[in-house]
Amino acid sequence: GLKRVMEALNAEGIPVGTIYPALNREPFIENTLGSRGFRAIYSQERLNRYRAENHCPHNDQLCRTTMAVDQHVLVGAKSDVDDILTAMAKVQKGAATL
């Protein structure tokens, strides 16, 4: 999976990580929607509609399947970028064993 690919790239000296958490799934959203203040201002129908609109399966998939290379890693010399590409090719070649 993605975690193993990231671990393999990190082992090759290429710092990669996830892009960001799925913000639509952060607990603060439900905490806010369920708060006394929001329940006083908005109807239950509107709160439920917001919950439905906040369902973002494509974003969820993106957050589960995407990795990022920090920008500072990409602003080095051309040889640094070549090292990144070499490491990625090596990991891709061995992906079946991850």
Residue with tokens 């590409």: 85
Element (H, E) at 67: strand 67-69
Segments in the chain forming alpha helices (H): 2-11, 27-33, 36-41, 44-53, 57-65, 71-74, 78-93
| Predicted confidence (pLDDT) at residue 74 exceeds the cutoff of 80 | no
pTM: 0.66
| Residue 30 confidence (pLDDT) | 96
| Predicted confidence (pLDDT) at residue 11 exceeds the cutoff of 90 | yes
| Residue 27 confidence (pLDDT) | 96
**Contact between 62 and 19 (Cβ < 8 Å):** yes
DSSP letters, 29-52, are: HHHHHTSHHHHHHS-HHHHHHHHH
Average pLDDT, stretch 15-43? Answer: 94
| Predicted confidence (pLDDT) at residue 49 exceeds the cutoff of 90 | yes
